Structure 1
Amino acid sequence: MSFEAFYSPLIQPPLPWFSLVLAVFTAWLMGFSRSGLGAGGFVVSPLMVLALGASDGLAVIAVIMIPAGCLGCWQHRKNVDRKLLTPLIPAAFVGTALGALILWALIASGEEAAVHERMEYVVAGLSLLYVALVSFRDKIAKLGGGGGPTTSKGVFAVGSLLALSQTVANSGSPLITVYFVRHGLEKKQFVAAQNFFLLIQNTIKLIPFLALGVLHIGNAGAALILFPITMLGSWNGKQFNRVSTDKSFFTLYIVLLVLGFFSSVILLWGRSDFLALF
């Protein structure tokens, strides 16, 4: 196999320059958001799908999430709350298994163009849902007088939903972020647990990605080419997390949600139709 197979996913027609520039930015944002927020799939997933198309975009993000997650876990290793992480580990397996079934249903039948369109709609639709969740997080936190202390069953349930969403769309962290905010946890209490959970889950989900043909040597190679950019973003994110307040943390979260919102709307409109404008 020639080296061209590794970089060809990064220069997708009809606008190779657009695909490359957006893929590089998204790779940096992947590292920054994972280390700085303990999250980020809700924006990087639709952005990378917009850059590279549904199948290659999901696969590239899935691979990049592994080293980005390793860096995030190392940076936040001293802040892990085992009470939060313990129910999240089995949730990673349960949610990934359910998500794999849904992913199989999405790609098992139909023409390639139709499959890509379905996957774009799923990524965009879930990203828009997460935009709404974080935008209204304060109201959700106060709903019914607040959530009270977290419970193992509650953390397991929301973790399973997150793992399912991560498997089909590489996003879903706002689910657990809003859950923790509702239960009164500050960012320093849950960012580390989110990082470790996502590293475990993102590693597990490579199994259905490989089995279903979403991940192959070409787009895996493209992800490795982008990884140094992700490392730079991870270092930048660590610096942000160290100096940020809860207010600046969620201000950036909202900025990323707006970016995720617009990229998701473009995907719902149609990636090919959008690129045709240029």
Structure 2
Amino acid sequence: MALAAAIIGYSKTALGGLGVVAVAIFATVLPARESTAAILMILIVGDVIACWHYRRDPDWGLIRRLLPAVIPGLLLGTLFLRVVSDDTLRRWIGAVLLVLLGLQLWVKWRARDTPPTTHRHPGAAIAAGSAMGFTTMTANAAGPVMTLYLSAAGIDKRRFVGTSAWFFLIVNLTKVPFSIGLGLLHPVDAVRALALAPFVLLGGLLGYATVRRISQRGFDVAVLLASALAAAALLLT
């Protein structure tokens, strides 16, 4: 759990897609449904740390574009949690992420000499927001989807991480009542999150240092590789 907490901290301040690796670790330590709520509280700790580091960097225009579609995704994810097994759902999400990654690489290859515009289409924001609502509710796996969307937006690395941090702080706080309603979230989860907070902070500081030192091109490549690793982690858990 300490390792997973450090990975969460690192993912929140550097490479968002890696957070799903922590999800996979928690799913091996705790029962799958229990791990969903347990890791949610730790994610919120990581969100707060990341938002402090990147408090001046979010692109609120992108956040406002995505948020309206998140609630339908959360509702659909809540319904699916009641009827679909976690293992089947996690592997399905991993497969979808691999498809999205392939599409993103294809778009980048086709548009190497033109500025990215796909993210500006209203349909792209609706699809991405709904997908993030669904995947975050069912498997805390929205990080790679956000990574792919922001990668398509072509924004610089600090704005990339800052936008992701503030978006997920809002979304994860919104998920709390849904998790309570499903009977998954308990006081012990908050206590565990506080105990693991130092490891989240350590990972967050390492991630922040990474973003400061890595080049923009290296960052772009790293976030796509993190998405691929995250998808593999979901498929193999």
The TM-score range, normalised by the shorter chain, is 0.7 to 0.9
Mapped pair 1:95 → 2:68: no
Gaps of 5+ in 2: none
Distance, in Å, in 1 between the alignment partners of 2:65 and 2:42 is 25
Amino acid in structure 1 at the alignment position of 2:185? L
CA deviation after TM superposition for structure 1 residue 57, in Å? 1.8
Match of 2:55 among 53, 56, 77: 77
SS at 1:91's partner residue?
Answer: helix
Superposition map of 1:244-255 within 5 A: 244-253=214-223
Distance, in Å, in 1 between the alignment partners of 2:103 and 2:220 is 12
Measured on the aligned residues, the alpha-carbon RMSD in Å equals 2.6
Distance, in Å, in 1 between the alignment partners of 2:144 and 2:55 is 21
Aligned sequence identity (%): 25
The 3 A distance-change label for structure 1 pair 182 and 252 is closer
Mapped pair 1:240 → 2:210: yes
Mapped pair 1:28 → 2:6: yes
Amino acid in structure 2 at the alignment position of 1:35? T
Match of 1:150 among 95, 100, 119: 119
Gaps of 5+ in 1: 1-22, 107-117, 268-278
Distance, in Å, in 2 between the alignment partners of 1:213 and 1:34 is 26
Match of 1:45 among 23, 38, 51: 23
For residue 201 of structure 2, what is the aligned residue in structure 1?
231
The 3 A distance-change label for structure 1 pair 232 and 192 is same
Amino acid in structure 1 at the alignment position of 2:14? G
* Greater radius of gyration (CA): 1
Mapped pair 1:205 → 2:205: no
CA deviation after TM superposition for structure 1 residue 181, in Å? 2.4
Aligned residues: 234
CA deviation after TM superposition for structure 1 residue 266, in Å? 3.8
Mapped pair 1:219 → 2:189: yes
Distance, in Å, in 2 between the alignment partners of 1:149 and 1:125 is 25
CA deviation after TM superposition for structure 1 residue 203, in Å? 0.8
SS at 1:40's partner residue?
Answer: helix
Distance, in Å, in 2 between the alignment partners of 1:58 and 1:249 is 28
CA deviation after TM superposition for structure 1 residue 135, in Å? 5.9
SS at 1:150's partner residue?
Answer: helix
Whether contact under 8 Å (1:128, 1:260) holds in the other structure is no
